[in-house]
Amino acid sequence: MTTIDSLSDVAPSAREARMQALPIPPYSGTSLPKIDYDAHPAYGGLFPKATLRERIHALNVFLRTFAFVTIRRIVDYDNMPLLTKEAGFSGLNFRTALRYISMYTSIRASRTIGTLTGARRPATPANPALLNQIKSDGIVPLTLSPDEIEQVRTVTHRGFARLDERRAGIPLEKRKFDDNVYWCTRSSDPEAFATVEEIFNRYGIIEAASAYLGRPVGVKHVNAQINDDGYTFWKGVFPDTQLNDPWGSYLHIDATYGMLKCAIYVHDIGPDGGPFCYVRGSQNAEIGWFEGMVRRTNDFGGFSGRKPEARKLFMALPAFLRKKADFGGDLRDDSTDVQRLREGHFSATSNYGNCVLFDGNGVHRGGMVNKGERRCIFILLAEI
């Protein structure tokens, strides 16, 4: 494996950060694909034009969701602690609302003071090569040592055991995305956070993430995730039609802001094992503020679903609002956009590394298992 940079001179316990140059060219587009939904056979080509009542209903749902997404953005929700994942959360009520408001006020005040005093600033990366590669490619596959992977397995064993138990009680046909994820928390899984933080500090990952995002960051989430070949969420994209599943199925950008993510493979993953995939350099595509908000609003509001009722609701929106964060399933295989995405599409199998750092604002997908089972740890790096 080609070594791009070494951290041996950064800290006594630092290990060599092995990174390979990606074997494909970067994304040649300057924006995300633009889809003509009026001409799409599963959208405008299938449904009659929306009535005035349907248009008003769709716009009402969109505007309410847009307001919700705007509030999330204003309060920087993605960089706030998630009370719903912590022990002791009793649902949304007056007590928990007061607790969140108090916590939010305290955090915002602390950050404001830190900004004014110069204490709140991004880190200086100890590994410039790591920072440069995430800037240019949006993805960096790294190789952790066997000992480090074993440490991760040990501290997340409890999470996977809980996840196995939960999944066993849910019939496959009723299983949803969140049923395949176990959220570790600092209160119940402190060793998971401590181990990941130690490894990430050793490789300069947290410093690079901080420099990239322009703010102090840390490990916000550690999530165990299981996908298997029975959970074929990316197939049967348009179940009420005879259309073949498109190549771009499940390609998407994240609905979150201000964070980097990292996938750690706890076992070898080949081409059929659901490897993480990324369109190299697509995080640099131009997405304006309004376009980004529209795409995320449609995902939060249910407009991105592909069942007939969701597609019909989506088509009732004005054409300029028909943009999705989860757009890949709507791409026609014969479009020039798909050709550009194919050229830069990188499949991060285990031969490239077992730790994949990436920017979720780029086009990506994963967990599409054709054979066996995939077990991964997903880490979110954000301001905490």
Query: What angle do helix axes 190-203 and 146-168 make, rounded to 10 degrees?
Result: 140
Judging by beta carbons within 10 Å of its beta carbon (0-12, 13-18, 19+), is residue 84 exposed, middle or buried?
exposed
Cβ atoms of residues 223 and 270 within 8 Å:
no
Query: How much is the pLDDT for 93?
Result: 79
Query: What whole-number distance in Å separates Cα of residue 238 and Cα of residue 44?
Result: 14
Q: What does the pLDDT look like over 3-36, one tens digit per residue? A: 333 333 343 344 556 787 899 999 999 999 999 9
Query: How much is the pLDDT for 8?
Result: 35
Query: What whole-number distance in Å separates Cα of residue 88 and Cα of residue 123?
Result: 33
Cβ atoms of residues 374 and 277 within 8 Å:
no
Query: How much is the pLDDT for 1?
Result: 34
Give me the residues of the chain with pLDDT under 50, please: 1-14
Q: What are the tokens at 345?
A: 């599409």
Cβ atoms of residues 279 and 251 within 8 Å:
yes
Query: How much is the pLDDT for 245?
Result: 95
3-class SS at 356?
strand
Query: What whole-number distance in Å separates Cα of residue 271 and Cα of residue 269?
Result: 7
Query: How much is the pLDDT for 87?
Result: 64
Q: What does the pLDDT look like over 173-229, one tens digit per residue? A: 888 889 999 999 988 899 999 999 999 999 999 999 999 999 999 999 999 999 999
Cβ atoms of residues 139 and 346 within 8 Å:
yes
